Amino acid sequence: MKLVIKDLSKTYKNGVKALDSLDLEIGVGMFGLLGPNGAGKSSLMRTIATLQKPDSGSIYFGDVNVLEQQNDFRKVLGYLPQDFGVYPNMSALDLLDYFARLKGIAKNSERKEIVKRVLDVTNLYAVRSKSVSGYSGGMKQRFGIAQLLLNNPKLIIVDEPTAGLDPAERHRFLNVLREIGTNHTVIFSTHIVDDVNELCHEMAILNGGKLLARSTPKRAEEELKGLIWNKEVSREEAIEYNKELSILSSKYNQENRINIRVYSQDSLDTAGFVQVEPNLEDVYFVALKND
């Protein structure tokens, strides 16, 4: 089923325009919503999750009018907010059983089966008897996914789930999402370019409440072919180049020199630059620079 967003706008009372006439269509699979802090990602996610109203615009999921038929839509929605708050001192097994009851799964045997399945999918079965309040950050995030899977949602929204996770936990979490993304529509917001690279078939870049790009990671990279140049320079040279060229990123290497990556339609051969394969980080920085 397709999520179709049209002309969505939201200005908060303090005058911040968080969503600016946004149009977006999202189909089955993992969709990555990439943007810097304050881009409007959470505002968009909360609006889709029917937790706040836009000033104007429409959202349809299949033929359900999300903003009008909130109760119908919530039955097929799984939402993991950015900050889930505090968990009670209960085991994952008991807590999931409790959530399953709240979601109306009355039959004992049915609940048992579903709870086991979501614990399996999220790799928490081995720690099911431990208290969720004592879980690590990554385990808590996976528990959040387990609980939203209980009612077999058709659309899953996860808001910056990898922020603050260590690399191993992040990988475990992305693996869980990858599995879920094969048969659900998953919208996944992040400011980490690699998250999108590793996981998403489709992506959009959001800033200032506007879509700057809508593509697949691969296609977006191909569009920059021949336009990305790299050179290793000193700090002083980097400052000079910054005055005349569009530097996308600069990274120190072990010799304390800087690799600068530059976007240029003209050849920089003669200036000692080497043409390099574009990556998704280049795509992201080009989009933000051209904004």
Ligand X SMILES: Nc1ncnc2c1ncn2[C@@H]1O[C@H](COP(=O)(O)OP(=O)(O)OP(=O)(O)O)[C@@H](O)[C@H]1O
Provide the binding-site residues for ligand X, judged by CB under 6 A.
12, 14, 16, 18, 35, 37-43, 160, 191
Q: Which is nearer to ligand X, 30 or 45 (CB)?
A: 45
Q: Give me the least distance between CB of 38 and ligand X, in Å please.
A: 4
The residue (of 206 and 280) whose beta carbon lies closer to ligand X is 206
Tokens at 130, concatenated: 């431990």
Tell me how long the chain is.
Answer: 291
CB-side neighbour CA atoms (13 Å) of 241? 26
Three-class SS state of 250: strand
Smallest gap from Cβ 283 to ligand X, in A, equals: 18
Other Cβ atoms closer than 10 A to 115: 25
Q: How far is the CB of 175 from ligand X (least distance, A)?
A: 23
CA neighbor of 218 nearest in space, from 283, 129, 140 = 283
Nearer to ligand X (CB atom), residue 43 or residue 197: 43
Provide the H-helix boundaries in the chain: 41-48, 70-75, 92-102, 108-121, 137-149, 167-181, 193-199, 217-222, 235-244, 280-289
Q: Shortest distance, CB of residue 252 to ligand X, whole angstroms?
A: 26
41 or 154, CB closer to ligand X? 41
Kindly tell me which of 42 and 197 has the beta carbon lying closer to ligand X. 42
CA dihedral 236, 238, 244, 245 (to 10 degrees): 170
Both structure tokens of 148:
């939203």
Rounded least distance, CB 203 to ligand X, Å: 15
Q: How far apart are CA 183 and CA 62, in angstroms?
A: 16
Cβ closer to ligand X: 14 or 256?
14
Contact (CB, 8 A) for 79 and 64 = no
Cα separation, 271 vs 65, whole angstroms? 56
Q: How near is the Cβ of 18 to ligand X at its closest, in Å?
A: 4
